[in-house]
Structure 1
């Protein structure tokens, strides 16, 4: 307990560095861009329009307000995919700085996931635009979306730290993870109804796919104007905590050896 408090105190002391790293990531992303941060809204919106046109003929007949259904899954999965891919190289990418001075190594991974969260919050503006354009019904349940984003953020922090430390020792992780996320995308009901899956596959997705837990909760709040079931909330919170514990344990266990490999 005492060690945990010490580590939290160290993290708090470096909060300004975390803020600067997040700001740097956001500025670099939109550097020399005429529209700047507006792309955080336009980019997911344009991608959603393309995907809605492509997939609407196949799935929309079974899904009410398909654009909103699609967008709810798309923005959450994109956040997980992009932020963890950036976190994967967060240690190797800052090797020069880590060799020169002491900073908590996990701060770079935190920064990548947090900058991704900022983009996700901007994307919520695009979601509101889609809901208005499609005349979707707004209810007070929509205001509970930060609870789902918090679960997903914690999950991505844990996954990001696990990937970051693993990539220091095994550079092939980045290529393997690209294949994993591709399979993960198609095993997550983003652009199709989960009922269209075979019974065995549907059981696996409902019970073993963390992204289904978060997208399912999010759609309940945004698309269906209802509170998520207690089991999917429990599953989402459990997956977040377990992933954070695994990621933190593996990162702290191996961080003293990073300097030998970066």
Structure 2
């Protein structure tokens, strides 16, 4: 409880820094780009088209509304992938700031994650645009996306806290994370439905046991399939995510003074 209260207090106290730092980060990404902010749209769209050609046309993966099926998953994966990769090197890349003034390290992480949350919002708008020509039916099940995304964000933050801490002391951790993420990318069901690829009950087990695959599958239930989110499973992952987030935040708070000495 003390850790969560401290985190909330820090977020409130440093809210202007969080917003300003995220804004500066977004502006810095497109400073030298001719197409400016349009790259935030072009990059994910191009990735979607490439994967559609490979899996939808070459490998002939059959799923309803396949472009929406792929792109919605890529949107969530992109947020997780960027957050995790960033967190490993975050402390060392922020050396110029944290060696001069005290800023709670979880606050720095949250400000960076806001950048990727904004990009995810842009990608989500594109998902909505894709749903129009596909005539994807929309009903009240769409509300289920909200709790799925909340748990997803908490899980991403918790994982990033642990990796931010480990990345300070282990120089090569970023290489390990890249390898793990490359493997995980193809086992998360971004281009296919895990529950349909494996015989039951193994399909559902593999899907529920992989948190990213679970979040993506539940998002698709609400967005594409017009079915209820598996709230019992979501509740389990919510508890797990809260535990990871609190313990990860506590670990960072406990060791943040030693980070300056290490870097």
Q: Does TM, normalized by the shorter one, top 0.5?
A: yes
Change (3 A) 1:104 1:242: same
> Per-residue deviation at 1:144?
4.1
2:168 aligns with 168
**2:64 is the alignment partner of 1:64:** yes
1:136 aligns with 136
> Per-residue deviation at 1:110?
1.1
**2:10 is the alignment partner of 1:15:** no
Q: How far apart, in 2, do the equivalents of 1:144 and 1:37 lie?
A: 30
Task: Verify the 8 A CA contact 1:117 1:153 in the aligned structure 2.
Answer: no
Change (3 A) 1:191 1:4: closer
Which consecutive unaligned segments of at least 5 residues does structure 1 have? none
Q: Name which of structure 1's ranges 215-224 and 201-210 shifts more when overlaid on structure 2.
A: 201-210
User: CA offsets per residue over residues 160-197 of structure 1, 9 Å max, x none?
Assistant: 11111110011111111001111111111110221224
Q: How far apart, in 1, do the equivalents of 2:150 and 2:38 lie?
A: 24
TM-score using structure 1 length: 0.90
TM-score using structure 2 length: 0.90
Q: How far apart, in 2, do the equivalents of 1:19 and 1:248 lie?
A: 20
- Secondary structure at 1:78's aligned position in 2? helix
Change (3 A) 1:8 1:46: same
> Per-residue deviation at 1:139?
2.3
Q: How far apart, in 2, do the equivalents of 1:45 and 1:117 lie?
A: 17
Q: How far apart, in 2, do the equivalents of 1:2 and 1:238 lie?
A: 18
- Secondary structure at 1:102's aligned position in 2? coil
Task: Verify the 8 A CA contact 2:3 2:249 in the aligned structure 1.
Answer: no
2:192 aligns with 192
Q: How far apart, in 2, do the equivalents of 1:27 and 1:173 lie?
A: 28
Change (3 A) 1:137 1:3: closer
Change (3 A) 1:219 1:2: closer
Q: How does 1:3-82 map to 2 (within 5 A)?
A: 4-57=4-57, 58-61=59-62, 63-82=63-82
Q: How far apart, in 2, do the equivalents of 1:2 and 1:172 lie?
A: 33
> Per-residue deviation at 1:232?
2.9
Two-structure CA RMSD over aligned residues (Å)? 2.1
> Per-residue deviation at 1:103?
1.6
> Per-residue deviation at 1:4?
4.8
Task: Verify the 8 A CA contact 2:7 2:106 in the aligned structure 1.
Answer: no
Task: Verify the 8 A CA contact 2:106 2:161 in the aligned structure 1.
Answer: yes
**2:218 is the alignment partner of 1:251:** no
> Per-residue deviation at 1:6?
4.5
Q: How far apart, in 1, do the equivalents of 2:216 and 2:240 lie?
A: 13
> Per-residue deviation at 1:3?
6.4
Change (3 A) 1:21 1:28: same
**2:114 is the alignment partner of 1:117:** no
The size of the alignment, in residue pairs, is 261
- Secondary structure at 2:126's aligned position in 1? helix
